[in-house]
Amino acid sequence: MRTIDDRIVHALNTTVPTVSFSGKVDATQTCKELYESACIAQKSDVVAQLREERGKDSENLKLIKQLRKEQTNVSEKS
């Protein structure tokens, strides 16, 4: 979790404009895009983990349903 926090802080520091650039960049849109990309990355990690688990236990219906749900969430946000 610390790594994710560090990446978010770094991304905010590099994308949110300073006062001198505030007129040239839409900070609201930039923050929205950052939020969406962070969510997609996190959901993609969850999907990868679930796929790995499914490979070990391909008959687990609960796991298969969870994987499909997470995959749908990723495709909706993309």
Walk along the chain (78 residues) and give the pLDDT tens digit of each residue.
677 778 778 877 777 766 666 666 777 787 788 778 877 888 888 899 999 999 999 999 999 999 999 888 777 665
If one counts every other C-beta atom within 10 angstroms of the C-beta of residue 54, the result is: 15
3-state class percentages of the chain: helix first, strand second, coil last, to nearest 5: 80, 0, 20
Residues 25 and 28: their CA atoms lie apart, in Å, by: 9
Domain boundaries, the chain: 2-77
What confidence score (pLDDT) does residue 78 get? Answer: 59
What confidence score (pLDDT) does residue 6 get? Answer: 82
Report the Cα 23 to chain-centroid distance in Å: 28
The model carries a pTM of 0.58
Report the Cα 5 to chain-centroid distance in Å: 12
